[in-house]
Structure 1
Amino acid sequence: MSYQIKIPSCIFGGAGSIENVKAVIEKENAKKVIIFTDKGIRSTGLLDLLTDILEENKTEYQVFDDLACEPSYQDVEKVMKEVENTSGDLIIAIGGGSVMDAAKLCCVLKDADYTIKDLLNDPMLAKKQIKTVMIPTTCGTGSEATCNAIVAVPEEQSKKGIVNDSMIPDYVVLDSNMIRKLPKSIVAATGVDALAHVVECFTSKKATPFSDTYAAAGAKLIFHNIREAYNNPDNMEAKSNMMTGAFYGGVAITGSGTTAVHALSYPLGGKYHIAHGVSNAILFAHVMEFNKDACSKRLAILCDAVYPELAGKSEDEKAQYMIDQIADIVKVTNIPTDLKEFGVKPEDLDFLVDAGSKQQRLLVNNMKELSLDDIRNIYLKVLK
C-alpha cells in the first residue's frame, strides 16, 4: 500500500505571526493583494491587523468582504465576477472556513476558462492560477490546510465538496491573536468540527500512517483543550492549542478523509442552513456509536494516544470512552442537539435520508456501510 499527504508549503505559528505576511509579499514579489474576508471580521478590527501591515509595506490591496456565511456556488460566482475585474498577484484570506474556501476557489478560477459549475461536475479541471495565504480566525474548519472547498447547491438542498490538490494553500498563518475574542458559540461549533475531522480521519477506511500521525496529534490537543477554551476565553494557551489541533485535522483530511458524520451533516446545512460545526456536533456521537462495532479497535488506539492513563481498559471500554467524551464535549459547550430547534420536522425525514445517502464521496470512507434504514435511524435519534 502506498500513500501520500500534501500540506501547505509554509506554515507560520504563534501570537503575532501575522507579521510574516511582509516576508511572504517580498518573497512572492507581490505588488497588489486580493483580500477575502467578511463583514464580521472587518467589524472586529481583525482585518486592520492585516491592512496595517500592507499599508506600512506600501502594498496595494483590494478587499472583498461581501461573502455569505456557508456560501452557495452562486454566491462564489457573484464574488468571482467582481474579482475578475481587478488585478492581483497574491490572495490573502482572513476569516473562517467559508472565507477561506471562497479564496481557494478564486485561486483556481481567476482568469481560468472553466467555471465553478464546471468544477462541481469535474473538480479535476482546477489549476492554480494565483498563490494564496490563509489566516484562519476560528479554531476549527481546517480549511487552511485542505484541498477542499465546500459550497451549498441550492437546487439539491445540500452541500458539495470541490476537491483538487491545486487548492492547497501556499502559506498559512496560525496567529492565536486572531481568535483572542472569538465568541464562545463559535469556539464550540468550530472546535467540535475540528474534533470530528480528527476522529473521522483516524477511523476512515482511507486512513494512512501519515494521516494517523496528524489526526492523533490533533485529537490530543482538541480533546484536552476544547472545554477550557470554551469555559475560559482568556486562556490563550488552550485557544492556541485548539488552533494548532484544527490545522492538524485539516492536514489529516488531505491524507484520509471524513466519513458519515460529515456526509449526513451536509443536507442539514444545505436545506436548513444549520452552521456546519453545529450540524456535525448534532450527529457526531450518534454516528460514532453506530460505527463502534466496526472501528472499536481504531477508537481504542486513538484513546491510547489521547488518554494513555486508560491503557489498562479493554478495547470496547476505550472505544466507548471516546464516544462518551465526544457527547460530553457537545453538552459542555452548549451546542443544541435536537433538530426540531432548527425547524426540521419529522416529515422532512425522507428528504434527509435521500440527500444524506447521496454523499458517496464521504460515505465510502466510513468503516461501516450505511443502509437507508441506518441513515434514517441516525436522523431519528436527533429528531426527538
Structure 2
Amino acid sequence: MGFQLTIPANLYGGSGSLHELSNILKKESARKVIVYTDKGIRNAGLVDELCKVLEETGVEFNVYDDIKPEPSYIEVEKIQEETKNAQADLIIGFGGGSVMDAAKLCSVLIGASYSVKDLLDTPQIAAKKIKTIMIPTTCGTGSEATCNAIVAVPEEKVKKGIVNNEMIPDYVILDPQLIRNLPKQIIAATGVDALAHAVECYTSNKATPFSNVYALEGAKLIFENIRQAYNEPENMKAKEAMLIGAFYGGVAITGSGTTAVHALSYPLGGKYHIPHGVSNAILFETVMNFNKDACADQLADICDAINPSYSDKSVNEKAQYVIDEIADIVKVTNIPVNLNEFGIQKDDLEFLVQAGSEQKRLLVNNKKELSKEDIRQIYSKVIG
C-alpha cells in the first residue's frame, strides 16, 4: 500500500526569521495582505513587530484581531464574512492554533460558494482561494504544518476537524523570538499538545515511513526540551527546539493522524471549554496506558530515541518509561490532571462517553479499538 505526505512548500526558521516576510511578499508580488490574529497577541506587543516588518515593505495590510480561542464554525463564518471584502493577495495567520486554523479556513472560504458548515459535512469541496503564510506564536499546535482546521460545533457540544490538503500553508515562519516571552502555562499546554501529536502519530494505525520520521524527531525534540523551555525563560535554544518539534508534529499529523487522546479531548473542549492542550494533557497518560500493549514496539522506538541508556531494557520497560516521562512532564509543568478542577463530575460521564465514541475520524487511528466501556473507564480515571 502506498503512502504520501504533503508539507508546506516554503519554510523559514531561526531567530529573526520574521524579517523573511519582506522577501516572501516580494516573491508573491503582494500588494494587499490581511493578518488574522487575536487580542491577546496584540496586547503582548507581537503584532507591533509584525506590522513594523509589513510597513517596511510598503504593502497595504489590514489586521483582524477578533478571533476567539477555539472558535465555533459559526464564529469562523462571521470572521470570513467580515473580512471577505479585504481583497487581499495573501493571508497571514499570526498566533496559536485557533488563529491559524481560522486563517486557513478563510483561505478556502473567501470568494467561495460553500460555507464552513458545508465543509464540516463535505470537506473535500474546499479549494484554496488565497495563498497563506503561517507564523506561530506558541510552541504546540502544529497548525502551521497541517491541512486540518478544528472548529467547535455548539449544537453537538463537541469540536470537529475539517481536513483538506488545500489548507496546507504555502509559507511558514518559525521565529523563536516570537515565543521568547510566552507565559509558562501556555508553553506547558501547547508543548504537551505538540508532544501528543508526535507520540499519537507514531503509534497511529495510519503511520507511514514518511510521517514516522517527523513524529519521532518531533517527540525527541519535545521530550528533551519542554522542561527547560518551561523552567528557564531565557533558554532560547530549548524554545527554538520546541517550535521546530511542534512543526514536525504538525507534519506528522498530515501524514498520519492523532488517536484516542485527541478524540476523547474534543468533547472536553466542545462542551466544557477546557483549553485543547490541557484536555490532551489530562488524558495523555491514561490513554497511553490503555494503548500500551498494542503499541509497545512504537513506544520502545521513542524510548530508544530519547534515552539510549535504556537500550538493554525490555520492550515493555521502554514503553512504560515513555508513559512515565509523559506523566512527569505534565506534573512538572503544573497542568491539572483531574477533570474535577473544571467542574466535571460523574454525572457528566454519559455525555462524555457518547460524544467521545462519535469521534470516529480519530478513533479509527487508534491501535486498540475502544468500546464505550473502555471510553467510560478512561474518563472515569481522570474525573477522580
Into which bin does the TM-score normalised by the smaller protein fall? over 0.9
How far the C-alpha of 1:310 sits from its partner, in A, is 1.0
Q: Which residue number corresponds to residue 370 of structure 1?
A: 370
Instruction: Map 1:152-167; keep pairs closer than 5 Å.
Output: 152-167=152-167
- Distance of 1:111 and 1:332 partners within structure 2: 47
Return the letter of the residue paired with 1:320.
Q
Q: Which residue number corresponds to residue 23 of structure 2?
A: 23
Q: Which residue number corresponds to residue 11 of structure 2?
A: 11
Q: Which residue number corresponds to residue 41 of structure 1?
A: 41
Q: Which residue number corresponds to residue 231 of structure 2?
A: 231
> Does 2:191 align with 1:198?
no
> Does 2:98 align with 1:98?
yes
Return the letter of the residue paired with 1:111.
G
> Does 2:306 align with 1:306?
yes
How far the C-alpha of 1:85 sits from its partner, in A, is 2.2
8 Å contact from structure 1 (residues 33, 88) kept in 2 = yes
How far the C-alpha of 1:308 sits from its partner, in A, is 1.8
TM-score normalised by structure 1 residue count: 0.99
How far the C-alpha of 1:113 sits from its partner, in A, is 0.8
Return the letter of the residue paired with 1:124.
Q
Instruction: Map 1:53-202; keep pairs closer than 5 Å.
Output: 53-202=53-202
Return the letter of the residue paired with 1:239.
K
- Distance of 2:296 and 2:53 partners within structure 1: 49
- Distance of 2:298 and 2:177 partners within structure 1: 35
How far the C-alpha of 1:72 sits from its partner, in A, is 0.5
- Measured against aligned partners, the alpha-carbon deviations of 1:167-207 in whole angstroms (never above 9, x if no partner) come to 00000000000100000000000000000000000000010
Return the letter of the residue paired with 1:220.
K
Number of matched residues?
384
How far the C-alpha of 1:358 sits from its partner, in A, is 0.3
Task: Give secondary structure in 2 for the equivalent of 1:382.
Answer: helix
Return the letter of the residue paired with 1:6.
T
How far the C-alpha of 1:86 sits from its partner, in A, is 1.6
Unaligned residue ranges in structure 1 (runs of 5+)? none
- Distance of 1:34 and 1:343 partners within structure 2: 39
Return the letter of the residue paired with 1:187.
I
Task: Give secondary structure in 2 for the equivalent of 1:161.
Answer: strand
8 Å contact from structure 1 (residues 338, 382) kept in 2 = yes
8 Å contact from structure 1 (residues 216, 306) kept in 2 = no
Task: Give secondary structure in 2 for the equivalent of 1:68.
Answer: coil
Return the letter of the residue paired with 1:7.
I
Instruction: Map 1:267-278; keep pairs closer than 5 Å.
Output: 267-278=267-278
Return the letter of the residue paired with 1:175.
D
How far the C-alpha of 1:343 sits from its partner, in A, is 1.1
- Distance of 1:376 and 1:54 partners within structure 2: 51
Q: Which residue number corresponds to residue 284 of structure 2?
A: 284
How far the C-alpha of 1:50 sits from its partner, in A, is 1.1
- Measured against aligned partners, the alpha-carbon deviations of 1:40-94 in whole angstroms (never above 9, x if no partner) come to 1111111111111111111100111111101001110111111112211100111
- Distance of 1:238 and 1:64 partners within structure 2: 31
Return the letter of the residue paired with 2:190.
T
- Distance of 2:14 and 2:373 partners within structure 1: 47
- Distance of 1:303 and 1:383 partners within structure 2: 29
> Does 2:215 align with 1:212?
no
- Measured against aligned partners, the alpha-carbon deviations of 1:90-140 in whole angstroms (never above 9, x if no partner) come to 001110000000000000000001111100000001000000000000000
- Measured against aligned partners, the alpha-carbon deviations of 1:299-349 in whole angstroms (never above 9, x if no partner) come to 111211222221111000000000000000000000001101101121010
- Distance of 1:22 and 1:85 partners within structure 2: 24
- Distance of 2:125 and 2:306 partners within structure 1: 40
- Distance of 1:235 and 1:193 partners within structure 2: 20
- Distance of 1:383 and 1:261 partners within structure 2: 15
Q: Which residue number corresponds to residue 51 of structure 1?
A: 51
> Does 2:316 align with 1:316?
yes
- Measured against aligned partners, the alpha-carbon deviations of 1:117-165 in whole angstroms (never above 9, x if no partner) come to 1000000010000000000000000000000000000000000000000
- Distance of 2:13 and 2:63 partners within structure 1: 24
Unaligned residue ranges in structure 2 (runs of 5+)? none
**Identical-residue share of aligned pairs (%):** 67
- Distance of 1:328 and 1:156 partners within structure 2: 34
TM-score normalised by structure 2 residue count: 0.99
